[in-house]
């Protein structure tokens, strides 16, 4: 993976001009943002309209040297089946029904300090980072996204997982009024995903609260979602309300729905084909040409050691 350090990156590579499409509103918010930065200010609540800027975001060294996917594609082309099966459905419906405040997250299971916390109390002790990650979907499309978030491991350690905690289970909000797609039988609701605990603690794994320097849009999993950049996108569960430390591998939504198509690990592996298409190539959204898919989505140097000795065709 090619990594640029913050001082080496020109501003033109960091901020998409589309973020300034409503420049007057942004300038008007400047005083409020400055005030937040001087007080509790590491997290700016999603209690206002979409597009709110996040305060005190620092640039991380985890930044791939590739063009960013335009904001309109990142926020307009999504898989979020709680709002419909088309790629446009989340952007059309989630902003109308999903209410990201108030929002509480339960942390339980094999840990010494379980609890139920307001999202701001969960996030506030941590500095927000902007990380530019490749994001690869099992359907063979990909993006490069500037996520804003916190290393998941830093949050998990606060709750002191015990030696019995071998996996981390994540659960999405269950509320058919807010998420009308849950009225269908497409999946077993609520949506559930999981990681091995060493995967969850890996420094690349983050809980995202924003993208492009703004509060996370509803259709992208507001107010809190997982991002695991070396795995296919369905592992990056959205709108999280529960994080549980568990001893056994959790039964996850897509693996239950179609075990022959979706394995637990879901590592990006061009040598393992989906039953209905090849994974050897992908199309970056906004481009016409297809490119070769990289092992572990290009993060092999960082994560291959997690799977040493494993048959990655069997544990797909």
284-315 pLDDT per residue, tens: 999 999 999 999 999 999 999 999 999 999 99
Q: Is the dihedral of CA 286, 288, 289, 292 positive or negative?
A: positive
CB 172 within 8 A of CB 240: yes
Render pLDDT for 146-188 as a digit per residue (tens, 0 to 9): 999 999 999 999 999 999 999 999 999 999 999 999 999 999 9
Q: From the options 4.10.320.10, 3.40.50.300, 3.60.9.10, 3.90.420.10, give the CATH code of 6-307.
A: 3.90.420.10
- Sequence ranges of the domains in the chain: 6-307
Render pLDDT for 46-65 as a digit per residue (tens, 0 to 9): 444 568 999 999 999 999 99
What is the spatial distance between Cα 234 and Cα 25, in angstroms, rounded to a whole number?
34
- Residue 220, sorted as left (phi over 0), alpha (psi -120 to 50) or beta, turns out to be alpha
What is the spatial distance between Cα 137 and Cα 266, in angstroms, rounded to a whole number?
10
Strands 240-246 and 290-292, sheet pairing? unpaired
Phi, psi of 143 (to 5 degrees): -145, 165
- Report residue 16's pLDDT band, with 50, 70 and 90 as the boundaries: very low
């Amino acid at each position: 993976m090619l990594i640029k350090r913050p001082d080496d990156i020109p501003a033109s590579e960091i901020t998409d001009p589309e973020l300034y499409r409503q420049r007057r509103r942004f300038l008007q918010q400047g005083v409020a943002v400055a005030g937040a930065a001087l007080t509790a200010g590491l997290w700016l609540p999603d209690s206002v309209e979409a597009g709110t800027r996040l305060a005190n975001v620092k640039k991380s060294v985890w930044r791939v040297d590739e063009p960013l996917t335009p904001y309109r594609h990142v926020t307009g082309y999504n898989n979020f089946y709680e709002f419909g099966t088309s790629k446009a459905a989340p952007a059309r419906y989630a902003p109308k029904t999903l209410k990201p405040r108030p929002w509480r997250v339960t942390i339980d299971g094999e840990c010494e300090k379980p609890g139920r916390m307001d999202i701001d109390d969960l996030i506030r002790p941590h500095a927000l980072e902007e990380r530019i990650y490749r994001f690869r979907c099992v359907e063979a499309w990909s993006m490069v996204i500037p996520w804003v978030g916190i290393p998941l491991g830093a949050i998990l350690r606060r709750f002191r997982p015990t030696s019995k905690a071998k996996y981390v289970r994540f659960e999405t909000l269950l509320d058919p009024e807010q998420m009308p797609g849950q009225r269908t039988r497409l999946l077993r609701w609520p949506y559930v995903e999981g990681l091995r605990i060493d995967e969850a603690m890996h420094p690349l794994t983050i809980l995202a609260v924003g993208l492009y320097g703004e509060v996370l849009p509803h259709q992208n999993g507001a107010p809190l979602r997982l991002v695991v950049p070396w795995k296919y996108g369905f592992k990056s569960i959205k709108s999280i309300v529960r994080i549980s430390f568990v001893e056994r591998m959790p039964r996850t939504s897509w693996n239950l729905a179609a075990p022959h198509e979706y394995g637990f690990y879901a590592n990006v592996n061009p040598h393992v084909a989906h039953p209905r298409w090849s994974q050897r190539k992908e199309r970056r959204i906004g481009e016409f040409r297809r490119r070769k898919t990289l092992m572990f989505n290009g993060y092999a140097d960082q994560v291959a050691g997690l799977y040493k000795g494993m048959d990655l065709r069997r544990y797909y």
